[in-house]
Amino acid sequence: MYAKGLVRKETVTICSLTGELINSKINDNDVRKIVLSYLVHNCFKETAETFISCTGMKRSVDCSVDIDKRKPIYKHVMEGNVLKAIELTNQLAADLLQSNKDVYFDLLTLHFVELVRSKDCTGALEFAQKELRPFTSGKHLERLQDCMALLAYEDPETSPLFSLLSMDHRQSIADALNRAVLVHANLPSYTSMERLIQHITVVRQRLHQELGKDGPPVFGLASYLKS
């Protein structure tokens, strides 16, 4: 399994270079929890349920309920149905978006972008005047100007600002909203696997700086997966 291989390989490398014991046994249950937290965090309900069934882990009712609440919100953002995502978010946690202005701004501008994509420039302008006016100053101004500039292009998807219409842009906003919902529910905003990779990256970079050619190379997930 990838997660277990990652933990084992990096534990051995790091411990051997720091002079600590290298034969530390990895608990299979801990690895399973790392994988499950990733699946639950990203709303992969069916995969999580299959994983629980195959590994014999204890099923949590809260786990399924949590995914059922978050997955539709994430799905609507990914499909460009931003207003529906906002509606569901407000039903789940009425004060969440008001206390997360950056996420709220990203959602509003994404809806603006989707209106431009659909060639509804009049609707986009009306929406901007009504909903985006509070963001016409401060740190959001530059992003807002970029969004408004889309109106100048006959084909925004081939313009220099094409990234605003990309699926990657939608996903970054969906991920940010998902994290905000998790934090609001007093749940971790990042998965154990993400934190593990962050930790390994920092440690390997530090060891590489201190030990040079005698130390391990800087960790990169892409290169690790190819090894």
Residue spans per domain, the chain: 26-212
pLDDT of residue 64: 62
| pLDDT tens digits, one per residue of 202-218 | 777 777 777 777 666 77
The residue among 31 and 25 whose pLDDT is bigger is 31
Q: Is a pLDDT exceeding 90 seen at residue 91? A: yes
Count the neighbouring beta carbons within 10 Å of the beta carbon of residue 60: 13
pLDDT of residue 12: 43
pLDDT of residue 15: 45
Measure the CA angle with vertex 70, ends 68 and 71; round to 5°. Answer: 70
User: CATH number of the domain at 26-212, please?
Assistant: 1.25.40
Rounded mean pLDDT of 170-193? 89
Whether the predicted model's global pTM rises above the 0.85 cut: no
CA distance 119 to 101: 27
Q: Are the beta carbons of 116 and 151 closer than 8 angstroms?
A: yes
pLDDT of residue 47: 87
| pLDDT tens digits, one per residue of 131-175 | 999 998 889 999 999 999 999 999 999 999 999 999 999 999 999
Q: Determine which helix (DSSP H) or strand (DSSP E) holds 128, and give its type and residue range.
A: none
